[in-house]
């Protein structure tokens, strides 16, 4: 049961609501957990309440063990882990160009075992929050807690692996990128 809800929730987040095409490919048991809204399909409220959705985010430009560890720790705190990947424009605001474009970084993170769904972030955080509808937002040990929506639990992870070695900025500098 939980596995079905996890699958449907991840589909809903990935597609911004489950499309008619995707809905048509679901089993009758899966379809029974959804309701139509605005031309898409969403988990019924009573089904959605059965799972805890977590939201984590980051740049993930040079993916390393520290990222995987953080996402593994985040996953322990929720049933469905959605990860939002920072836009190329967001990285440029920090004074550098991304090594990999956002689409590539999103696909890489989406393949990681602890991640149920990775999505590209945009300019507007409220749009991402509306799409994911997290019960909890999980921040890494070195991330500022810049989103604190009402009714959403905030968790700051303190666990980390060798930050003196596993920092993207340090790796990028050492590689001369």
**Residue range 52-78, pLDDT digits in tens:** 999 999 999 888 888 899 999 999 999
Pairing of strands 40-43, 34-37: antiparallel
Tens of pLDDT, residues 16-34: 999 999 999 999 999 999 9
Residues 104, 166: one domain?
yes
The answer to whether residues 15 and 71 belong to one domain is: no
- Which pTM was predicted? 0.88
**Domain housing 11:** 2-48
Shared domain for 79 and 154, answered yes or no, is yes
Q: Hey, is 119 helix, strand or coil?
A: strand
For 145-156, write each residue's pLDDT tens digit.
788 889 999 999
Q: Are residues 70 and 33 in the same domain?
A: no
Distance CA 160, CA 70 (A): 7
Nearest C-alpha neighbor of 77 from the set 16, 140, 1: 140
Looking at residue 126, which CATH number applies to its domain? 3.40.50.620
Where residue 161 falls among pLDDT bands split at 50, 70, 90? low
Domain count, the chain: 2
Instruction: Note whether 67 and 154 are same-domain residues.
Output: yes
Same domain, 135 and 63: yes
């Amino acid at each position: 049961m939980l596995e079905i809800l996890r699958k449907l929730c991840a589909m809903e987040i990935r597609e911004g609501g489950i499309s008619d095409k995707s809905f048509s490919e679901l089993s009758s048991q899966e379809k029974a957990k959804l309701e139509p809204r605005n031309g898409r399909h969403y988990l019924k409220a009573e089904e959605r309440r059965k799972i805890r959705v977590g939201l984590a985010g980051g740049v993930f430009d040079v993916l390393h063990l520290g990222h995987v560890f953080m996402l593994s720790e985040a996953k322990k705190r929720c049933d469905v882990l959605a990860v939002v990947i920072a836009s190329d424009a967001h990285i440029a605001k920090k004074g550098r160009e991304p090594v990999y474009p956002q689409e590539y970084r999103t696909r890489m993170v989406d393949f990681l075992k602890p991640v149920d769904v990775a999505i590209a972030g945009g300019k507007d955080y409220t749009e991402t929050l509306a799409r994911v509808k997290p019960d909890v937002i999980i921040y890494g040990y070195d991330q500022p807690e810049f989103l604190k929506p009402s009714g959403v639990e905030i968790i700051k992870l303190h666990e980390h692996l060798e930050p003196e070695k596993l920092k993207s900025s340090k790796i990028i500098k050492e590689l001369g990128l």
